[in-house]
Structures are given as C-alpha cells and as structure tokens.
Structure 1
C-alpha cells in the first residue's frame, strides 16, 4: 500500500476510533480524579486502625453533638423523653440539625427575595430587562470568598451599613458572625436562581387562559390565584428545593461570615481534617454526602414530575414599567417594586460596592495603603505567608490547566449524553455525579487518595498538591461545560448531521466539522464558566493547599479576612479583576456571538 493509501487508512481508523477513545479517556480521568478519591473517603470511614468497623458512624449517629436530641433514641432514651427534649427551648440541634435549619431559613429568604424579581422580569417591559435577566446567572460564577469579604465590608463593625446608620444618627448593629449575615449571603447567591426559574414559568403562562377566566367574571386577583399561581408553584418549589440542596452543603460563606461558632457539616469536616482526624472527617463527609444525594434525588424526581412546559398560546403581555397614565391600581405595585429595588441594591450591589470602597479607604479617607500592603507582603513576606502575586499566578495557572482537562471532558460527555443509545441515562448520572459532591469531600478524597499516595509493592505513587488542585478544579468545572454545550447539541438540526454522514463523513469527522462549529459559542461559554469556577474555587483547594505554597486568591482572601480587612478587600478586587479579564479574553476568543 502506498503512502497516500496508508495515510487514508490511518485517518479512517482515527475517525472511527477517536470518539470511543476520548470517551474511554474521560472515564479514566473521572475514575482517577473523582471516583477513586471518593472511594478512599469511604474506606477511611470504615477501616480504622486496620480493621473493618462501623463504630465511627455509630458514635456520630448516637451523639447529640452531631444529630441533636433525636440521637438519644439510639442510646436507649424513650421516644417520649426525646420528644419533650426536642420541643423544649433548650433543645440541641446538633451540627447536622443546624445545617438543615440554616438551609431551610436560607431557602425561605431566597424565595422571598427572588419572587419580586421574577414578577418584575416577567410582567414589565423596560430598558435593560434582558440584561438584568441575564445577570441572574452572575452570582453562580462570582467567587464565594470575594462575596464573603464584600459582606464583611458591608456588615462589619466599621462596615458600610454601620457607617450609614451612624450618619443617620442610629445605633450600630452587629451582624458579622451571626446567622442573619449567613442567611443574607445565601440569599445573594440563590435568590437569582429562584427568580430565573420562576420567571421562565411565568412567561410560559397562556394569556388566553387568563383572558377566559376574566371573561367569566373573575377579578384580576381571582384569575391570578386560579390560573397563574398554580403554574408558578412548581417553579417556586423547585427553586426552594435547589436552594436547600446548595445551602445544606455550604462552606466558604459560613466559614467567613459565621466561623466555627456557626459551623455547618462542611465547616466541621474541614476542622476535623485540620486536626488530622481523617476517620471522623470521612464518616461525617459521607453522612453529608448521603443526605445531599437524597435531597438531590428528591429534587430531581420532583423536577421530572413538575417541569414547566411552554404552552402553545401567547404569553402574558408585559406592561411598560412607566405607564402612560398613573392610577392607584398602577401606582401601588410600582411603589412596591421601587421599595424592592432599594432592598435588592443593598443585598446584590452593596457587598461588591462595599468591597471596592473599603479597598481604597482608610481612617483618613482615600488611600492605596491596602494595595501597598499587598506589594510589601509579596516582597518581604515570610515563606509560610501567603504572597499575593504568587496567589494570582497560581490561580491563573490552575484555571488554564484545569480548562485543558475540563473542556474536552465536558464536550465529550455532552456528545455522549445527547446521543440515543441504551445506557445513556446511566452515563449521564455517572458523569454528573461531581455536581452532587461537595468540594470538601473531593478535596479530602484527593488528599488521602492521590497526595498521600498509593503503595504498589515497595513503591508509593503520589501526585503533588498542584496537580491535585488542578484535578479538583477540572472535576468541579467540566459538568458546567456539559450543561452548556449539551442542550445546544441536542437542539441542532439533525438533517445537517445526517447529510454529512450520507456523504461518507465518519462520526468523529461530522462532530468536528459540522456540530462543534455550530455550537462553538456554547463551548466558549462553558469554557468561561469552567475558568471562573476554577479561579474562585475554595473548598477543595483549601484542603489540598494547606501546608503547601500552592495558595490561590480565594485562600489569600480567607487568610487576610480574619486579620486585615483592608488587604482582604484589595485582594478581593484583584480577584474580581482577574475573573473579569478571564471572561473578556474567552469572550473575544469565542467571537461576537458569545454572550454571558
């Protein structure tokens, strides 16, 4: 066979085997970076001092410190006594009970703050409405530590809120390291989610059904109650359920704004890791994982039964925000929205604005002292101290390296989960499992499984902390690539694909030459999400970076925040700038059609 024929044969083999090979490679990466580390956590929890035991689980389940008063049922107390203790003012919630309690209150606050936004976006037309709706996704990519330092700058003793209260002649308030501050911060992150899903449901309501109810004599309030509200309830409950799942496994916000006195399960797992109590940390992490997976499963079942489908009719018409004629009926809801706008600005814009202001102000007014401190720390800091520029470089390098793993993994999984074949749902579930596992658990698993190493014969195989951090970031970021690219692949005109296949193009060649160019904006958007999540990742990184020099910007903020608020806010501004520049660069690489 001549060289041209040989090259064609090699190319045919490549085209035929490329996708299966990429799928196998993705599976191998998942096994090494996710499933093996998670299994290591499981082994740590049931093998103590070289023997198989469930004693750690039993100790936790029967300890009121972890499970509150109901744990006494396992130690022989009567149900009546436990019930009386549970209902008493002095009841103990335990770590798990408190975690569930703060998640429930956070869900209520997120719904209360998100519903008015949904009403505004779904029922009114005004300049910038589409931009405002697009911004509802922004809190999901804002680094949690950056937001935390913004809340400290807002609610601290010398923060923006107390500055405004003092100027108005009112008494200062102490919100920092209180449950209220944690709840408000959780609402910052999750109210936009509630607004987003509820707005979509509101816009799917058929206007003709409302008109029919009105023509039959129903008042506007009755028509809303009987026609519109029943179609909104599932979306509101979905948003609340998802908020509960997210806030149950909360970590950075509570660590920064609540401290150990308001410790959730994740914060306490981190504390146990710091105390080298790996068996107890692993057991508690698995208990949390079991609860989280149960909550996520219940949510997915509910979502499957109550997904809002767009009707075939026209949606409800939106009113102009500024009417041509003012009346009491037109004025009252708009006054309510104006009051909500003030509250929303305080919650959503206030922390970021406070961080920016605190970074350039001091006791004597405007100053660059905090940024100068960062420069001095970089030049003269001790070896064990966090150096700002090193943290910036580490964050960027980790983000770039994790993107090289997360992007191809995400695209491959998106392809695999949008093809019709037996076992697709299983592949989807296994590939999306990282979404349901917290960063602390992933970090603990990578620490115990890869960083500490595996003994094979007389040899111990281990990876460095930096490689483990990149792996954790890739595992956390690639599901967002899948969820961005997958729907676009699924909605492609299949006649284009079939035409390419009919002309003899192999499956891999069709994907590269036809499908990916058509969904390229989604690929770039997924890459932007992966980079932003990597730059802002804290939970797994803080476990893996402890005792090393592999600090990132979120860790630098956490180290500063308890000692020097000014430098912490300056580092937060640097993190905001790096994240924004990353988005801009990826946006330019993706072309004009990419939007966020």
Structure 2
C-alpha cells in the first residue's frame, strides 16, 4: 500500500510534468505530428547548440580528468604532510555555484580582467580566455572536476591492497602497476564521476547565460520559453533532447555503480597509503599547486568584486567598500530568507521521503521496488529548466485550495521542484546508512512486540539520522544554489532567491557589486552546508569501522 502511494505521488510529481513536455513536442492542435521535430532539427542554430552541448560535455570531462585523476591518485594512494588540506582544497570548487564561478572568472580572465590587464601592461599581450564556448568549457572544467576526483579517489581507496601486493610479487611496479592494475580497477568509479559531470554540464544554464553564450541546448530552451511562451513546441523538442541525453548518461552511471569489481574484497588486505619523504612531499604539493591554482580563482574574484567600490581598467579595485553587503542585507533581505525557507522545506520533504523509500528498497520486500527506485533516481538526470517547464505547463492555472492562486504563481512551486530535483540525494544517503545498519536491531524490536512501522520509527530512524542528515544537507545546499529552474519559476521579484537576485543584479547597470555580494552569500551557505555534511559523513564512517 505504501509503495503504491509513493509510486502515485512520484508519478504525479515527476512523470506527469515530463510527459507534458514530451507531449508538447509531438502534439499540435490535439493531433500527433512530427512538425516540431522536423522544424527544430532543420534549424542550423539547434544543430550548433546540440553539437556544442555534446562537445562541451566531452571537453569538460576530458580536461577535468587531467586535473581530477592525478589529484585523486595523490590523495588516495599516498600519505604526506597536508594530505587532508590538499583534499579540502580540491573540493573547494564544489562550493562555488556555476553562475557565481562564471562571474568570478569573467572578472579575472575576461577581456578586461585581472590577468589580461596584467599581461597587457607588462607584455602588451591579451588572450581571449572567456570568449564563446571556450569560456563556458573553462568555467565548467574548473568547477566540476572535483566530481570526477571524488569518485576516482573513492574507487582507488576501495581497492584491496592484497591485489596490489600480488601484482608487485609478479613484477609490476611504478607506472606499470598504476597503469595496468590500479587505474583499470578504478575505472568504474571514474566512469561514474565522469558521467555525473556530463549530466551537470548538460543541465548547466547559469554559466552560458552569465557568459552571454546561448548556443547550447539549455539556454536555447530557456530563451524560447521566456520569449515565445510555454506553448512553444520547439522549446519542448529541445527539452526532450536534453532529457534523452541526460537519461542515457544516467543509465550508464547506474550501470557503472551497479556492477561489482575486484575492489574491497576484504578488509584484511587493507593498509595505509605509501608514505612520501621530503622530496616526494614537495613534488606532490608542486603538482597539486599547478593543478589547483586556476580552480581556486573564483573565490578570490567574486570576493574582490563584492567589496569593490571602483574597479575600472585596473588589475585590482581602486577603492573598497562594504556597501554592497549592506544593500543586499538591508534593502533586499527577502533573497536570503526566501533561499533559506525554500531550501530547508525542500530538504525536510526529501528527508522524509528519502528515508521511507530507502527502507522500502532495502527492507520492504514488496512488489514495485524496482519502479520506486527508478522514479526516485530519475530526477538526477532531469535538467532544471526541463523540470521547471514541465511544472509550468502542467500546473499553470491549477488553483490551490484555500489560496485562491495557481501553484505556479506562488513560492510553493519552488519548494516542490527543489524537493523533486534533490530527492536522489536523500535516497542515496539513507540507503547507505541503512546498508550499514544490521537488520537484527529491527528484528529484535519486532520480537519484543513492536510493529514494523513502530520499529522503523523508534529504532531505525534514530540509528540512521547521521546518514539522513548528510543527504538532507546535500539537498539543502543544492536547492540553495539552484538557478536553472529558479529563473523560470520565480513569478515575482519578491519571491526570488539569492541565485535569482545575483543573476538579475549582474545584468543591471551598476549591479555587479551587489550581485557579487549575493554570490558570496550563496558560496557561504553552500560551504557551511557541505562542511557539516562532510563532518557527519566522516563521523559516520568512523563509527561504522569501529
């Protein structure tokens, strides 16, 4: 019964909006037709946008791997002073929302940015770092590579050291050991990170919009919806293509995660990483500095911009001020409070649903579990602009009882879409926590007379709280930094979030300072939430090992 209700709920929240978008692509005047499909694929602009989207995804994964794999190799296989600091530095780009990173990189590497001004003054040279697709790929590479790094490092850390020792006994060592043994064993973890990165690139709307490069699929869908309207069939076709690309990547992602390999076969073969001497430590840090230096630029750029009173054609601001923060905190405080309210509510909804779904998948032994898992994981592959368009088409004009207004004209639609899009985070977090919890605890409670529901609420939930909170915090920080769906769903400025305010401010005359200040607030919220989630995850791992 519970599974059926959840299938009905998720079907209404996920499947129906997506079906409405797909119907908009192939139905015109209540009759099926391929007119929109043929019209879109005949447009050179769409063909370029599709080619650019695929190219950017491949380039970001390839270039990001050049940074991520060496860093994962260093942090997972070696022990040296400052290794944890290096790991933290490698994760820092994840706390920078893509659109904020685009603002910062434009300020530092743009045509009149800090680097080009320095090069022009000293050498009479300048480079078009941020022009066109090149700029989009640069920003996405330097912000998304940690996804590949984390997945690869986890896979390398999970390899049974007995396999490495066996290879060494057979004569493999040095680069040959890593190339022939370790990296092939970690390929599925790497593939999972690469595919998740590709999905993020396809979904990214903020970066190309901030860099004024709309020749990608997500910006094309957004531009058509905002200029032509919700009924535009060609926008639905573009969204259908986005869904197809993301679902294929998600399918490959689940296969990469779902298949077992020769890793973590037993704890007996585990040992600590190879300790590096002074020379090795210096080499490791030199390599890390070379790889990480460009990726740490956004934090510097957006912070300087947020406190600059005047920043003309000079390398650094000529005057500093805190007025931008006073403006956003006193004149437009609703951006901050709306962000916290929407994200907290969405995370709470996700924690409840994620815990129940994860328990049913692991302990329920009921029919329909496969369908429930598929529905719970699908939002990971649905671009925000597609989900937002689906809700606008599906629920436009649908009035909420007691409010006298349609769902899409209130802030509740933002909470619902945020919750739907972040459900996979809490499902995976709760699922991992439940896997580490022996069923004997619940069985003992049931043996003492508790029903399954009571045992779940009084025994299981308190024991998996840490994993549940990790998933909830990840859902919170993702919702707090969302821009793709927010731009379409905010019906009035007073309902806007920090991301919305930063985007609007950056496109207004004299709004770069306040926009950067709003961006810094987003970074602070994401960094705080991610930091707490990481601490909880590490404590949970330590508790499990003990």
Q: What TM-score do you get using the length of structure 1 for normalisation?
A: 0.79
Cα separation, partners in 2 of 1:295 and 1:503, compared to 1, 3 Å: same
1:91 aligned partner: none
Q: Which residue of 2 aligns with 1:569?
A: 516
- Please name the residue that 2:383 is paired with: 438
Counterpart CA distance in 2 for 1:399 and 1:595 is: 26
Partner-residue secondary structure (3-state), 1:175: coil
1:99-498 matches, within 5 Å, as: 99-130=53-84, 132-133=86-87, 139-140=93-94, 142-162=96-116, 164-165=118-119, 169=123, 171-260=125-214, 263-277=215-229, 278-305=232-259, 307=261, 309-312=263-266, 314-315=269-270, 317-323=272-278, 326=279, 330=280, 334-335=282-283, 337-361=284-308, 362-363=310-311, 365-368=318-321, 371=324, 374=327, 379=331, 388-419=332-363, 420-453=365-398, 462-498=407-443
Q: Which residue of 1 aligns with 2:314?
A: none
> Aligned to 2:27, which of 33, 47, 64?
47
Q: 1:460 to 1:319 in 2, by over 3 A?
A: closer
Instruction: Return the index of the structure with the highest Cα Rg.
Output: 1
Tell me the distance in 2 between the aligned counterparts of 1:252 and 1:221. Answer: 40
- In the aligned structure 1, how far is the partner of 2:91 from the partner of 2:429? 13
Distance 1:372 1:349, change over 3 A: closer
1:26/1:412 contact within 8 Å kept: no
Deviation, 1:166, is 5.3
Structure 2 contact 483–500 (Cα < 8 Å) conserved: yes
Give per-residue Cα distances to partners, 1:380-434, cap 9 Å, x unaligned: xxxxxxxx32222221221233233222122221222222334322210022211
Tell me, in whole angstroms, the C-alpha distance in 1 between the residues paired with 2:61 and 2:149: 13
CA separation in 2, counterparts of 1:248 and 1:159?
27
Q: Which moved more, 1:569-578 or 1:460-469?
A: 460-469
1:100-153 Cα offsets, whole Å, 9 max, x none, are: 011111110111110111111122213453465467666555433333322223
Give aligned pairs, total.
528
Cα-to-partner distance string for 1:496-547 (whole Å, 9 max, x where unaligned)? 1111111111111111111111111112222211221111111111111155
Q: Distance in 1 between matches of 2:486 and 2:86?
A: 32
Structure 2 stretches of 5 or more lacking a match? 312-316
| Conservation of the 8 A alpha-carbon contact between 1:205 and 1:316 | no
1:528 pairs, out of 473, 496, 511, with: 473
TM-score (norm 2): 0.86
- What is the Cα-based RMSD across aligned positions, in Å? 3.3
Tell me: CA distance 1:235–1:410, structure 2 relative to 1, closer, same or farther (3 Å).
closer
Contact 1:136 1:196 in 2 (8 A): no
Name the CA shift for 1:169/1:533 in 2 (closer, same or farther; >3 Å). Answer: same
Counterparts of 1:93-104 in structure 2, within 5 Å, are 94-104=48-58
Query: Structure 1 residue runs of 4+, over 6 Å off?
Result: 583-588
CA–CA separation in structure 1 for the residues paired with 2:203 and 2:522: 24
Cα pair distance change 1:498/1:272, threshold 3 Å: same
The 2-side partners of 1:229 and 1:213 are apart by: 13
Corresponding residue of 1:71: none
